[in-house]
């Protein structure tokens, strides 16, 4: 059997076993990891692959989350997958609407514009209490089961069921983004990051490509938001549109490894682990995570994913120097 | 004759024994009424919330849901100071008798960070991992709604000591596992309106936090004014985000409105920041509120800045003996962050939190179990005497407390603090004027 297939089978077996080995608390933790990893990878498409730093990615996450909350509250009986996909499409639509403005700017201007749009949505949702519930948010809707008529019906309030639902969607989403980076359009995306002018001169549609990327990235951020809404049975402006929601995946990318595809997943896991460990010391939690972030940026700029490679390089260098010393002696 | 004498002696002996047994718990049989007994409070010498350690062994676990980090971390400190006080007091008295044996009280923190998602996670951890018997919290009605839903899901007893919204215990939101000890927005509105009916102020500016509690409180205050002060005017109304940093835009509007009084339901840190910034801007209008007992904030504006504030509460402790004396003496040795004037005396907020816990533990002891279903049976309809000797009734059908409420105007000098104005005379508003009517949509209340 080929090695990647063995790895994949092993990973799937571990994922399938988690809810049965660990209790509901840790199963819920894995659901959060799935949501945050999906969200971080969607931002990573912009940051690592297109070279665009967004401070407003919570916009798409929030639209997805509010979309799911509103659909499930007002459209009784809608299948859960339809609700989630419609919410993700709403986020993609927001990406499409904003793209005429966003595609024309780069660097700091792009970052500031995304920040502005993110904050605009935050304020709008805070003020339209009648629709969004404002600071209180929307909660308490009846989540329909994940069902195929005549085959199965899974109650998503059960930790095991929501786990498979969230992890399944996250895996599919991440896989779709992985394949996207391997397509010709994915190559154009990387080229835009490296030299946008040259790509333009070569005749590629930079503006159109960027617009597609915004929609694609927005779709998966919205999907993460929709799963968040289903999992928490609660959506509030502070929880899904706050500026810190935009910074969370950014932190995951930087801690996990910028410029890599899987770094953000690792980063999300590490941040979640850190949050769990520091939970016992809530007064110190923010300080501890701040110090760790500074240490990673200073001493491990490639992120945690580069740790193995750096260790191997250090080990090789050490062995080489020892050999050199021995041969000199 | 000898039989009669023997019967009387046995009767006397049994009564004494019963009294002694009950007297070792959080409350004792003082006459016929159940309630808090200040003289039973343990010697609290050496107690310090910063150095509280949980007892080991078979304990009653209380999960404390509060913001222990973030913008409202000071609220978490208030919960912790009060919770550890009650737990230490009960533990020094040997604990409470549940399941046939004495059990001490352990407290476990659940950090809500003041955010909905974190609140849900904290509850899950307390219920699934720490396996607490009781959830106790929290500031923010939107967060309490989440705790209520989770308490119902995990069938855990939930004591709400910090969220006032009327709607929390109504309609679909009601759960038999939650008891709302704190007064409600309706009561606040009615209390202050009834108080202002006897005063000169007629132009009010409402400035509240922009979430369910702030909006409900504004409506309650307006309804109260309409009923008790029909000639009063609302000259302006604003809602600001929670944990707001800049009140200048709102205060500028207040100044221009010609208001005679600012009405706010803000809790710390917002209440103190609002007060400080208004004084810094030269706006010395009196403020009427329900969380103005942040002494550190009052000291920051000094006696002149805090004079004339109107403070309403469900509990005003206007004596310095009993539990108040023991708290004050213990406070003298407390370490940071509890060594500030905010904790010098058992205040309205700390007092009400403590009262709610004492009552819960008393109900638990009388139920003889920490099991939620058994405690619910005892607590529903329970009549209890509170910290200042007032009558409290836990209304059976909606789990809300029927009680008198209190209003005071801060004056300087006073017997409490030399660096700020504080309470002196207290006006009592009888329960009949301020009690929230029973919800009409509840089948339990018919």
Looking at the domain assignment, is residue B36 inside a domain? no
> What is the rounded average pLDDT of the residues A182-211?
91
Are residues B305 and B426 located together in one domain of the fold?
yes
What average pLDDT does this structure show over A174-202?
A: 92
**CA distances to A314, B185, B204, B373, B378 from B368, in Å:** 64, 33, 50, 12, 10
Angle between helices B73-92 and B348-367 (to 10 degrees): 40
What's the confidence (pLDDT) of residue B5? Answer: 61
pLDDT tens figures, A215-234: 999 999 999 999 999 998 88
Q: What is the pLDDT of residue B23?
A: 44
Tell me, yes or no, whether B19 lies in a domain.
no
> Where is B249: in which H helix or E strand?
helix B248-257
Per-residue pLDDT of chain B (446 residues; tens, 9 = 90+): 555 566 556 655 555 444 444 444 454 444 445 899 888 999 999 999 999 999 999 999 999 999 998 888 999 999 999 999 999 999 999 999 999 999 999 999 999 988 888 898 899 999 999 999 999 999 888 899 999 999 999 999 999 999 999 889 988 889 999 999 999 999 999 999 999 999 999 999 999 999 889 999 999 999 999 999 999 999 999 999 888 999 999 999 999 999 999 999 999 899 999 999 999 999 999 999 999 999 999 999 999 999 999 999 999 999 999 999 999 999 999 999 999 999 999 999 999 999 999 999 999 999 999 999 999 999 999 999 999 999 999 999 999 999 999 999 999 999 999 999 999 999 999 999 999 988 876 677 77
pLDDT (mean) for A262-281: 88
B359 and B411 share one domain: no
What does the pLDDT read at residue B29?
42
Nearest to B193 by CA among B57, B288, B295: B288
Same structural domain, B196 and B292: yes
The phi, psi pair for B225, rounded to 5°, reads -65, -40
Rounded CA gap, B382 and B377, in Å? 9
Nearest CA among B309, B324, B300 for reference residue B416: B324
List the single residue in B with minimal CA-CA distance to A31: B121
Q: Is residue B217 part of a domain?
A: yes
Sheet holding B96-98, edge to edge: B96-98, B101-111, B59-66, B134-137, B157-160, B178-180
Residues B160 and B120 in one domain: yes
pLDDT confidence of residue B111: 92
- Together in a domain, B151 and B289: no
DSSP state, B397? T
pLDDT at A103: 86
What residues 184-223 of chain B have any CB closer than 8 A to a CB of chain A? 209-212, 215
- Measured CA distances, B415 to B314, B320, B418, B424 (Å): 21, 9, 8, 8
At A287, is the pLDDT very low, low, confident or very high (cuts 50, 70, 90)?
confident
Closest-CA distance, B228 to chain A, in angstroms, reads: 30
Interface test with A, best of B71, B109, B117 (most A CBs within 10 A): B117
Asked if B195 and B142 sit in the same domain, the reply is: no
For the residues A82-108, what does the mean pLDDT come to?
A: 93
Q: Domain containing B335 — which CATH number?
A: 3.40.50.2300
Domain limits, chain A:
3-255
Say if residue B53 is in the same domain as residue B151. Answer: yes
Question: Chain-wide mean pLDDT for chain A?
Answer: 91
Range of the domain at B202: 186-318+404-441
Q: Quick one: pLDDT at residue B28?
A: 47
Please identify which residue in the block is written with the tokens 């221009």: B256
Q: What is the pLDDT of residue B270?
A: 94
Q: Which residues of B307-328 are buried (b: 16+ CB within 10 A; e: fewer)?
A: bbbbbbbbbbbeeeebbbebbe
- Counting the structural domains of chain B, the total is 2
Q: Is the peptide bond before B337 cis (omega within 30 degrees of 0)?
A: yes
Instruction: Decide: A77 and A97 in contact? Cβ < 8 Å.
Output: no
Selecting from B111, B115, B173 the residue whose C-beta is nearest the C-beta of A279 gives B111
DSSP letter string, B272-295: HHHHHHHHHTT----EEESS---H
Query: The tokens 């004084």 sit on which residue?
Result: B279
Indicate whether B170 belongs to any domain: yes
Query: Quick one: pLDDT band at residue A262, thresholds 50, 70, 90?
Result: very high
Contact B73 A233 (CB under 8 A): no
- The helix/strand/coil state of A183 is coil
Phi and psi at B29, nearest 5°, equal -75, 95
Cβ proximity of B143 and B116 under 8 Å: yes
Q: Are residue B314 and residue B193 in the same domain, yes or no?
A: yes
Tell me which residue has tokens 């929230």: B436
Q: Do B54 and B176 fall within a single domain?
A: yes
**Do B251 and B343 belong to one domain?**
no
**Helices and strands, counts by H and E, chain B:** 13, 16
Instruction: Provide the strand spans (E) within chain A.
Output: 138-139, 146-148, 152-154, 234-235
Average pLDDT over residues A48-59: 94
Task: Spell B188-222 as b/e; 16+ CB within 10 A means b.
Answer: bbbbbbbbbeeeebeebbbbbbbbbbbbbbbebbb
Chain A residues touching residue B112 (CB < 8 angstroms):
none
Contact between residue A306 and residue A296 where contact means Cβ atoms under 8 Å apart: no
Q: Do residues B56 and B106 share a domain?
A: yes
User: Is this prediction's pTM over 0.95?
Assistant: no
Query: What gap in Å lies between CA B343 and CA B417, rounded to an integer?
Result: 12
On whether both B286 and B397 belong to a single domain, the answer is: no
Would you state the torsion angle of the CA atoms of residues B37, B39, B44, B50, taken in this order, to the nearest 10 degrees? 30
Question: Smallest CA–CA separation between B374 and chain A, in Å?
Answer: 26
């Amino acid at each position: 059997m080929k090695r990647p297939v063995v790895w994949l089978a092993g990973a799937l077996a571990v994922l399938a076993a988690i809810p049965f080995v660990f209790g509901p608390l840790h199963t819920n933790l894995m659901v959060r990891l799935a949501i945050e990893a999906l969200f971080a990878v969607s931002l990573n498409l912009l940051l690592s692959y297109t070279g665009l730093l967004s401070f407003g990615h919570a916009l798409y996450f929030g639209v997805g989350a509010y979309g799911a909350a509103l659909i499930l509250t007002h459209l009784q009986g809608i299948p859960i997958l339809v609700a989630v996909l419609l919410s993700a499409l709403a986020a993609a639509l927001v990406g499409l609407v904003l793209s005429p403005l966003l595609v024309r700017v780069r660097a700091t201007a792009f970052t500031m514009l995304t920040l502005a749009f993110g904050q605009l949505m935050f304020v709008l949702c805070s003020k339209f209490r009648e629709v969004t519930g404002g600071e209180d948010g929307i909660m308490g809707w009846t989540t329909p089961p994940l069902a195929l008529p005549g085959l199965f019906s899974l109650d998503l309030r059960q930790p095991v069921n929501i786990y498979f639902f969230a992890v399944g969607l996250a895996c599919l989403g991440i896989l779709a983004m992985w394949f996207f980076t391997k397509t010709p359009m994915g190559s154009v995306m990387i080229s835009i990051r490296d030299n946008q002018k040259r790509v333009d001169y070569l005749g590629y549609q930079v503006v159109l490509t960027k617009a597609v990327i915004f929609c694609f990235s927005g779709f998966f951020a919205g999907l993460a938001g929709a799963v968040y809404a289903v999992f928490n049975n609660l959506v509030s402006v502070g929880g899904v549109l706050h500026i810190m929601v935009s910074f969370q995946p950014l932190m995951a990318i930087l801690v996990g490894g910028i410029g890599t595809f899987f770094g953000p997943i690792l980063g999300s896991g590490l941040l979640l682990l850190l949050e769990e460990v520091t939970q016992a010391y809530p007064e110190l939690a923010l300080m501890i995570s701040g110090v760790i972030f500074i240490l990673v940026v200073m001493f491990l700029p490639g992120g945690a994913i580069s740790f193995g490679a750096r260790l191997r390089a250090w080990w090789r260098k050490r062995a080489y120097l020892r050999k050199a010393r021995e041969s000199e002696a | 004759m000898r039989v009669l004498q023997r019967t009387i002696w046995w009767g006397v002996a049994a009564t004494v024994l019963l009294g002694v047994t009950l007297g070792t718990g959080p409350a004792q049989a003082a006459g016929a009424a159940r309630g808090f007994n200040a003289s039973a409070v343990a010697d609290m010498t050496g107690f310090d919330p910063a150095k509280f350690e949980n007892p080991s062994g078979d304990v009653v676990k209380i999960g404390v849901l509060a913001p222990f980090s973030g913008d409202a971390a000071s609220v978490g400190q208030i919960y912790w100071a009060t919770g550890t006080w009650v737990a230490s007091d009960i533990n020094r008295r040997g604990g409470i008798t549940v399941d046939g044996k004495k059990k001490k009280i352990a407290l476990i923190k659940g950090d809500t960070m003041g955010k909905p998602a974190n609140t849900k996670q904290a509850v899950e951890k307390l219920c699934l991992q720490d396996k607490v018997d009781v959830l106790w919290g929290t500031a923010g009605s939107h967060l309490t709604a989440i705790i209520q839903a989770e308490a119902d899901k995990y069938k855990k007893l939930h004591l709400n000591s910090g969220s006032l919204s009327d709607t929390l215990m109504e309609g679909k939101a009601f759960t038999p596992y939650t008891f709302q000890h704190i007064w409600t927005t309706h009561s606040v509105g009615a209390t202050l309106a009834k108080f202002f009916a006897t005063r000169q102020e007629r132009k009010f500016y409402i400035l509240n936090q922009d979430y369910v509690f702030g909006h409900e409180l504004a409506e309650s205050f307006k309804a109260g004014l309409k009923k008790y002060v029909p000639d009063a005017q609302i000259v302006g109304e604003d809602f600001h985000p929670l944990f707001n940093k800049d009140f200048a835009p709102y205060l500028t509007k207040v100044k221009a409105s010609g208001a005679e009084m600012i009405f706010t339901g803000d809790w710390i840190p917002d209440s103190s920041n609002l007060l400080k910034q208004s004084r810094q801007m030269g706006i010395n209008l009196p403020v009427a509120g329900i969380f103005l007992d942040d002494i550190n904030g009052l000291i920051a504006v000094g006696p002149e800045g805090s004079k004339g504030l109107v403070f309403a509460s469900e509990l005003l402790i206007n004596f310095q003996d009993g539990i108040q004396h023991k708290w004050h003496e213990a406070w003298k040795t407390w370490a940071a962050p509890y060594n500030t004037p905010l904790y010098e005396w058992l205040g309205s907020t700390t007092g009400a939190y403590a009262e709610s816990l004492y009552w819960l533990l008393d109900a638990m002891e009388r139920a003889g179990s920490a099991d939620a279903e058994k405690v619910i049976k005892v607590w529903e309809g329970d009549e209890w005497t509170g910290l200042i000797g007032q009558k409290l009734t836990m209304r059976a059908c909606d789990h809300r407390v029927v009680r008198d409420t209190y209003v005071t105007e801060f004056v300087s000098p006073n017997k409490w603090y030399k660096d700020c104005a504080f309470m002196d005379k207290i006006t009592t508003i009888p329960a009949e004027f301020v009690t929230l009517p029973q919800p009409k949509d509840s089948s339990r209340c018919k």
